[in-house]
Amino acid sequence: MWPVWLIIAGVCFIIEMMTVGFFVFWFGIGALLTMIFSFIFPDNLVLQASIFVISSTLLIFCTKPLVKKLSKSDKKVATNAYSIIGKKGIVVQDINPTNGIGQIKVAGEVWSAKTSDNSIIEKGNEIQIIEIDGVKAVVEPISVTAEVVKK
């Protein structure tokens, strides 16, 4: 019966390689343990099946905290447009909500921008990006070198 358990283990390991989770692997280990016990109890299929089920179940539940800890990724890295939120920049084209125009420069890149309170921020002012709305950065002034007009 040991060749059957070896084949089951091999199939489980192949399935594990094709899937993302870390679940079928433990069935493969359980099949290998059962294969070892099949040398000791070659004719007792019920005992072999019980060993397979019990060992696989124990491996799944006993190693679940370890697998969670190893695969845990608390670090969420902001990508694309959301990576500029909180950064400071300079207004390179007047931000005017009436005309729907305005551009800022952040980390060497030019972005379309608008203000959070519909004020006008003139070229040369320092701003901070507070959020992204569609394709525009929503900004608020940090230092005012020119006049900021409230509407």
Q: What's the rounded Cα separation, in Å, for the pair 104 and 138?
A: 10
**For residue range 99-124, what is the model confidence (pLDDT) as tens digits?**
888 999 988 888 889 988 888 888 98
The pLDDT value recorded for residue 41 is 84
**Domains of the chain (ranges, CATH numbers):** 2-71 (no CATH), 80-143 (2.40.50.140)
Intervals of the chain under pLDDT 70: 71-80, 143-151
The pLDDT value recorded for residue 98 is 82
The pLDDT value recorded for residue 146 is 47
Q: What is the 3-state secondary structure (H, E, C) of 99-135?
A: CCEEEEEECCEEEEEEECCCCEECCCCEEEEEEEECC
Q: What predicted TM-score, i.e. pTM, was given to this entire model?
A: 0.46
The pLDDT value recorded for residue 144 is 58
The pLDDT value recorded for residue 74 is 59
The pLDDT value recorded for residue 143 is 63
